[in-house]
Amino acid sequence: MPTINDTHRISTTDLDTPPRLLLGPGPSNAHPRVLRALSNRQVGHLDPAFLDIMGEVQELLRYAWQTDNQVTIPVSGTGSAAMEAAVVNTVEAGDSVVIGVNGYFGERLVDMASRYGADVHRLEKAWGGVFSLDELAEAVERHRPRVLMLVHAETSTGARQPLEGVGELCRANDCLLLIDTVTSLGGVPLFLDEWLVDAAYSGTQKCLSCPPGLGPLTLGPRALERLEARRSKVPNWYLDVSAVVKYWGKERTYHHTAPINMNYGLREALRLVAEEGLEARWERHARNAQMFWDGLADMGLSCHVDAEHRLTSLTTVCVPDGVDSGAVARELLARYNIEIAGGLGELKGKVWRVGLMGFNSRPENVRLLLAALAEVL
Amino acid sequence: MPTINDTHRISTTDLDTPPRLLLGPGPSNAHPRVLRALSNRQVGHLDPAFLDIMGEVQELLRYAWQTDNQVTIPVSGTGSAAMEAAVVNTVEAGDSVVIGVNGYFGERLVDMASRYGADVHRLEKAWGGVFSLDELAEAVERHRPRVLMLVHAETSTGARQPLEGVGELCRANDCLLLIDTVTSLGGVPLFLDEWLVDAAYSGTQKCLSCPPGLGPLTLGPRALERLEARRSKVPNWYLDVSAVVKYWGKERTYHHTAPINMNYGLREALRLVAEEGLEARWERHARNAQMFWDGLADMGLSCHVDAEHRLTSLTTVCVPDGVDSGAVARELLARYNIEIAGGLGELKGKVWRVGLMGFNSRPENVRLLLAALAEVL
């Protein structure tokens, strides 16, 4: 046997992380009950006890999304994995696809769909803007897409894309409607079935207040028909929903080992949503966001997105002229253990991104952030 | 606003899972220190404190694998995601690939490589057998593969593929060597650099005694050269290592949000490996496996794999004639809260799979299982 090399056998200390208040675009702080659930003792991924837990996670996800979709599951990766799962299971090479690009995550959808050979048509808008129904109708009529992809809650801009009427437009044109709900699920009103959405994905580390590590995904009957009628295998083994559902469905066939403890955490996070109720939860997010916006206005600061289309979970605050946005964020972290983030892409240096998500959407956090921001500025 | 539908707002109880002893092929029980680490308070995925943790995880993974590879990271999915990452980053459409198929996971490598358009050549062997260096040399000379893929530790059969000399064979033929170490990392001797392995992947829920949810991956310099020289983008966004390393490397560019708490858990699991030391850990696995095998022999039970190539982390026990393997497993679970698993594929109904992995590789578990098995049989 060769000699064991101890070069990388470093000595480490017990885990001791600073007590951060995570008010950036996510992750947000997990609810204490969720953190406790994570460390619950394990069972096997085919244990009858775990199958029950899986069923509860699915059912509670349906409630949070307001959908009856049978295929409603947490993908065993982060929100980005669920995003790719939504794309790869609905798109085939050569398919015409229209993607609304009004921020970083629309751009990422373009990258993903392109990798899978889609004929991508970009519908562009300045970062922070949203698309009107007329603009969407025109694009659908011009490009006859098989899928229209929109970001309901743009984590990079804080804009909320209205979806009323979009589902009807898609159905009339034999087009699937796929939406990103990463920063809206559990915080901002969402009615997937009412809005005739065919595919949606999310993350756990935003308004659900669970650590990152699972990516909720839901596919409706029209998306499943498309999946069944494919000309070729899904060109991605891990995210192939036609195989994954055999584990999450009645067959319980092994596909991959589900992240047991992360599912414990998500279950607890979704229980908290159900206990509070969606109406109260959405209202709480709206109330605390309004308190934050009012406080910003009192300080003479403005928001990047117009009030009508502003997400209540994530606000982009305009950086005043002459202020170094990065320095302010670093100062908040160093002095007060508060994390906020800067802008991405077009908005780099121009905005701060402030999340008031899930458990973190509380008046005391708003009050603290406003006071700290006033001092640092 | 539409009316909120409460159909799926089910009521649930506090999480209360049975106290299982997980002696199947994985997940194994996580170490209590790992479970506690999971529930540690969060920091952001770009927090300086988290960047330190990432560095420690990488360094300790290098120790566990005995490699200096710069690109040594936990993929943000389970072991199956790391497996697909290893494949998709080393293979391009049209590439000749030789895959050793002597169990379920060799079969899965064929499925994955085929989805990415590889020209796959199967090298077959009965489940439980391993390939000789001569057989591998003949296949490499015949098919001139760009990549040779072998399963070091076949979780479906309990066989350990010897790797001495295989790396030299691959280098002499301009071929990468890619290996599956899901059931060996942290339990069975592994010397990636000494063996000239170019790519390897693993899971956290086997001999590392961390819950499932991350997939360790390592790529050596020859694999990275291949990645840089690709004719096309990696056809998988989430697992594209050329993008992921910008987050795990010096740039710290956002790609996706890393599973923070799972990384806390993996760090603790790897600390336990470093504290015990690889030599002692491997020896412990060997000692407890031998105790189990001796106990089986005393009961008149035999192992499916010959002693020379038997994994010390996972044993396939032959089911005696006339015994219903599923009924025995169910009885062990119902009466003693012990999970073991049956065979897959060719070995369905013919073997039980018993894992003695990481924290679970202890004499008291061997003694209990032997006694329970004797009673149930």
Domain ranges of chain B: 21-27+278-376, 32-274
Q: Which residue in A12, A110, A156, A182 has the most chain B C-beta atoms within 10 A of its own C-beta, making it the best mutation to test that interface?
A: A12
Percentage of chain A modeled with pLDDT above 90: 99
Tell me the nearest-neighbour CA distance from A249 into chain B, angstroms: 17
Q: Which residue in B39, B65, B76, B336 has the most chain A C-beta atoms within 10 A of its own C-beta, making it the best mutation to test that interface?
A: B39
Architecture of domain A21-27+277-376: Alpha-Beta Complex (3.90)
Q: State the Cα–Cα distance between residues B119 and B370, nearest whole angstrom.
A: 46
DSSP secondary structure letters along A106-129: HHHHHHHHHHTT-EEEEEE--BTB
Nearest CA in chain B to A53: B15
Q: For residues B251-268, give the mean pLDDT.
A: 96
pLDDT tens column, A223-269? 999 999 999 999 999 999 999 999 999 899 999 999 999 999 999 99
Is the Cβ pair B18, A49 closer than 8 Å?
yes
Is there a contact between A23 and A358 (Cβ–Cβ < 8 Å)? no
**Is the pLDDT score of B1 beyond 90?**
no
Q: State the Cα–Cα distance between residues B41 and B309, nearest whole angstrom.
A: 43
- Mean pLDDT value across chain B: 97
| Tokens coding A127 | 């970062």
| Tokens coding B96 | 């000749």
Q: Grade residue B131 by pLDDT with cuts at 50, 70 and 90.
A: very high
**Is the pLDDT score of A67 beyond 90?**
yes
Contacts of B339 in chain A (CB under 8 A): 43-44, 47
Is there a contact between B230 and B223 (Cβ–Cβ < 8 Å)? no
Biggest CA-to-CA distance, chain B: 71
Omega cis (within 30) before A27: yes
Q: Is the dihedral of CA B72, B156, A258, B240 positive or negative?
A: positive
DSSP state of A322: T
**Is the pLDDT score of A353 beyond 90?**
yes
From the candidate CATH numbers 3.10.129.10, 1.10.10.10, 3.40.50.2000, 3.90.1150.10, the one assigned to the domain spanning B21-27+278-376: 3.90.1150.10
Omega cis (within 30) before B27: yes
SS3 string, B64-130, reads HHCCCCCEEEEECECHHHHHHHHHHHHCCCCCEEEEEECCHHHHHHHHHHHHCCCEEEEEECCECEC
Tell me the nearest-neighbour CA distance from A291 into chain B, angstroms: 22
Using a CB–CB cutoff of 8 Å, tell me whether A213 touches chain B: yes
Contacts of A234 in chain B (CB under 8 A): 115
Is there a contact between B309 and B130 (Cβ–Cβ < 8 Å)? yes
Nearest to A30 among B8, B42, B235 (CB): B42
Q: State the Cα–Cα distance between residues B80 and B169, nearest whole angstrom.
A: 27
DSSP secondary structure letters along B326-374: HHHHHHHHHHH-EE-EE--GGGTTTEEEEE--GGG--HHHHHHHHHHHH
Using a CB–CB cutoff of 8 Å, tell me whether A66 touches chain B: yes
Q: State the Cα–Cα distance between residues B70 and A283, nearest whole angstrom.
A: 48
Nearest to B15 among A40, A108, A339 (CB): A40
Nearest to B43 among A20, A41, A80 (CB): A20
Is the Cβ pair A37, B15 closer than 8 Å?
yes
**Residues 193-212, chain A: which have Cβ within 8 Å of B?**
193-194, 203, 205, 211-212
Nearest to B115 among A63, A111, A233 (CB): A233
Is there a contact between A181 and A190 (Cβ–Cβ < 8 Å)? yes
Helix B104-115 and helix B79-90, axial crossing angle in degrees, nearest 10: 50
pLDDT tens column, B94-116? 999 999 999 999 999 999 999 99
> Which has the closest alpha carbon to B74: B255, B233, B267, B283?
B267
Q: For residues B334-345, give the mean pLDDT.
A: 97
Tell me the nearest-neighbour CA distance from B221 into chain A, angstroms: 18
Tell me the nearest-neighbour CA distance from B374 into chain A, angstroms: 23
User: What is the CATH number assigned to the segment(s) B32-274?
Assistant: 3.40.640.10
Size of chain B in residues: 377
Contacts of B180 in chain A (CB under 8 A): none
Instruction: Quote the pLDDT of residue B60.
Output: 98
CA A251 centroid distance within chain: 29
Is the Cβ pair A274, B9 closer than 8 Å?
yes
Question: Which residues does B298 contact at the CB level (< 8 Å), separation at least 6?
Answer: none
- Mean pLDDT value across chain A: 97
Is there a contact between A153 and A181 (Cβ–Cβ < 8 Å)? yes
**Is the pLDDT score of A1 beyond 90?**
no
pLDDT tens column, B56-74? 999 999 999 999 999 999 9
Is the Cβ pair B80, A235 closer than 8 Å?
no
Question: How far, CA to CA in Å, does B198 sit from each of A3, A246, B90, B151?
Answer: 20, 33, 10, 14
Is pTM beyond 0.90? Reply is: yes
Biggest CA-to-CA distance, chain A: 71
Is the Cβ pair B274, A12 closer than 8 Å?
yes
Instruction: Quote the pLDDT of residue B148.
Output: 98
pLDDT tens column, A104-153? 999 999 999 999 999 999 999 999 999 999 999 999 999 999 999 999 99
Is there a contact between A222 and A188 (Cβ–Cβ < 8 Å)? no
